[in-house]
């Protein structure tokens, strides 16, 4: 049901109450209805005090901006009240929310590896509500997973600004994987529209005599080729240092512009280590993403995996070394899916 179908917040409140009045069967219906009403009002008041009205309104489509801020807050309060918690836990959570002790916002701007438990103050109730709200506002509100949840649950986080969220004035890009599969669904470093096509990469590679035939032979058996496999293939040829250097510059600067120099220099080394080149590729990919207009002018990138209970935070390319991540091997030659060329950021415990 759309917001503008209601004349006032009280109508929204009544609809929400109808859906939550059966949450806890341990009390009489009349008592439960009164308790839920009180809880909803309490959360609604707390959210208003935290200026969430302004933050949520700022993310609504133009047609709703400024028109129904109170109704949207009632929706949020209803979503919180509908979390899979008993009444006492909800009261505990409301107190945490009022005290701004649900999200540890400092984690979101401090490079390193963390758990979602740590992000939610090592409080089980906080974590349950955060998980419950992780998909709130996705799509219709033009925000990705966990972004609204962070803004709703912390006075230090806003959905306005240059990043996905703003944390105490710092623009933050959020890549949250909400699937139940561990190691899956993470966000990638960049936008596919900026990636060269499969054919253009093939045309570039086949101009180099030492690798042209080995590349063609490999691709008769498999349509794509990842970074490590490509390095090993080149190492197996008799390519000379000058040709290898030219290949490095042409290839990686085509993919990442000037930010490709890190991986180009690593690849140009004689018999380069495939994993070292992969790591350098990730560094170039990160810098290319950050030092562009992709995703806004963000300062910090946060990756989350709800299935893995993991959070990874990066400010610089070097910060990847502070984070435990699933090993991902981007493609040099894709299957014609450009996203395969971009590193997929999947933090793990």
**For residue range 232-242, what is the model confidence (pLDDT) as tens digits?**
999 999 999 99
Count the neighbouring beta carbons within 10 Å of the beta carbon of residue 226: 21
3-state class of 224 per DSSP?
coil
* Residue 45: per-residue pLDDT: 58
Lowest mean pLDDT among 6-20, 183-197, 249-263: 6-20
Looking at the fold, whether 28 and 142 belong to one and the same domain comes out as no
Looking at the fold, whether 171 and 286 belong to one and the same domain comes out as yes
Q: Could you tell me the pLDDT band of residue 138, with boundaries at 50, 70 and 90?
A: confident
More confident residue, 75 or 212: 212
Answer with the one of 36, 64, 99 that is the final residue of a domain: 99
Q: Can you give the residue range of the structural domain that contains 68?
A: 1-99
More confident residue, 256 or 17: 256
Answer with the one of 99, 132, 159 that is the final residue of a domain: 99
Looking at the fold, whether 138 and 69 belong to one and the same domain comes out as no
Which residue do the tokens 């990442």 mark?
A: 256
Pairing, β 331-333 against β 157-158: unpaired
Asked whether the whole model's pTM tops 0.75, one would answer: yes
The first and second tokens of residue 156, run together, are: 């230090």
The first and second tokens of residue 12, run together, are: 């929204």
Looking at the fold, whether 21 and 60 belong to one and the same domain comes out as yes
**Overall domain count for the chain:** 2
208 DSSP assignment: S
* Residue 311: per-residue pLDDT: 97
Looking at the fold, whether 300 and 202 belong to one and the same domain comes out as yes
Looking at the fold, whether 62 and 113 belong to one and the same domain comes out as no
321 DSSP assignment: G
Looking at the fold, whether 79 and 138 belong to one and the same domain comes out as no
Has residue 290 got a pLDDT over 80?
Answer: yes
Looking at the fold, whether 207 and 225 belong to one and the same domain comes out as yes
Looking at the fold, whether 40 and 167 belong to one and the same domain comes out as no
Has residue 67 got a pLDDT over 50?
Answer: no
The candidate with the shortest Cα–Cα distance to 120, out of 101, 97, 98, 92, is: 101
Lowest mean pLDDT among 22-36, 245-259, 263-277: 22-36
Round to whole Å and give the CA distance between 106 and 100: 13
Looking at the fold, whether 58 and 156 belong to one and the same domain comes out as no
Has residue 16 got a pLDDT over 80?
Answer: no
* Residue 4: per-residue pLDDT: 40
Looking at the fold, whether 146 and 201 belong to one and the same domain comes out as yes
Asked if residues 149 and 278 have their Cβ atoms less than 8 Å apart, the reply is: no
Q: State mean pLDDT over 214-225.
A: 96
Looking at the fold, whether 190 and 243 belong to one and the same domain comes out as yes
Q: What is the pLDDT of residues 172-204, one digit of tens each?
A: 999 999 988 887 777 899 988 889 999 999 999
Per-residue CA distances from 253 to 47, 95, 112, 231, 345 (Å): 48, 53, 29, 16, 22
Answer with the one of 61, 82, 99 that is the final residue of a domain: 99
Q: Could you tell me the pLDDT band of residue 27, with boundaries at 50, 70 and 90?
A: low
Asked if residues 147 and 167 have their Cβ atoms less than 8 Å apart, the reply is: no
Quote the percentage of the chain above a pLDDT of 90.
56
How many Cα atoms within 13 Å fall on the side-chain side of residue 106?
A: 4
The first and second tokens of residue 205, run together, are: 């590679």
Cβ neighbours of residue 231 under 8 Å, at least 6 residues apart? 267, 272, 273, 274, 277, 278
């Amino acid at each position: 049901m759309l917001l503008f179908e209601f004349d006032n917040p009280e109508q929204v409140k009544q609809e929400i109450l109808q859906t939550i009045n059966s949450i806890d069967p341990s009390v009489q219906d009349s008592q439960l209805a009164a308790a839920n009403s009180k809880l909803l009002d309490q959360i609604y008041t707390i959210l208003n005090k935290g200026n969430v009205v302004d933050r949520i309104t700022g993310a609504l489509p133009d047609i709703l901006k400024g028109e129904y801020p109170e109704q949207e807050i009632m929706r949020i309060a209803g979503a919180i009240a509908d979390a899979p918690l008993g009444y006492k836990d909800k009261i505990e959570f409301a107190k945490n929310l009022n005290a701004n002790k649900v999200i540890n916002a400092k984690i979101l701007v401090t490079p390193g590896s963390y758990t979602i438990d740590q992000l939610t103050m090592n409080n089980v109730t906080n974590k349950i509500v955060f998980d419950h709200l992780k998909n709130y506002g996705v799509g219709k509100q033009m925000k990705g997973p966990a972004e609204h949840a962070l803004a709703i649950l912390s006075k230090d986080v806003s959905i306005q600004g240059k990043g996905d969220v703003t944390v105490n004035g710092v623009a933050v890009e959020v890549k949250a994987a909400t699937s139940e599969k561990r190691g899956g669904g993470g966000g990638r470093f960049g936008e596919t529209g900026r990636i060269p096509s499969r054919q253009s990469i093939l045309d570039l590679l086949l101009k180099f005599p030492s690798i042209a035939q080995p590349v063609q032979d490999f691709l008769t058996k498999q349509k794509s080729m990842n970074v490590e496999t490509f390095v090993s293939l080149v190492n197996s040829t008799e390519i000379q240092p000058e040709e290898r250097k030219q290949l490095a510059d042409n290839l990686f600067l085509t993919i990442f512009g000037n930010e490709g120099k890190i991986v180009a220099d690593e690849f140009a080394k004689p018999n380069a280590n495939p994993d070292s080149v992969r790591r350098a590729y990730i560094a170039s990919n990160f810098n290319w993403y950050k030092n562009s207009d992709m995703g806004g002018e963000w300062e910090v990138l946060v990756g989350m995996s709800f299935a893995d209970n993991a959070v990874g935070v990066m400010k610089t390319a070097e910060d990847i070394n502070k984070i435990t991540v699933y090993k991902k091997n981007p493609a040099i030659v894709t299957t014609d899916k450009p996203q395969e060329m971009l590193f997929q950021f999947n933090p793990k415990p």
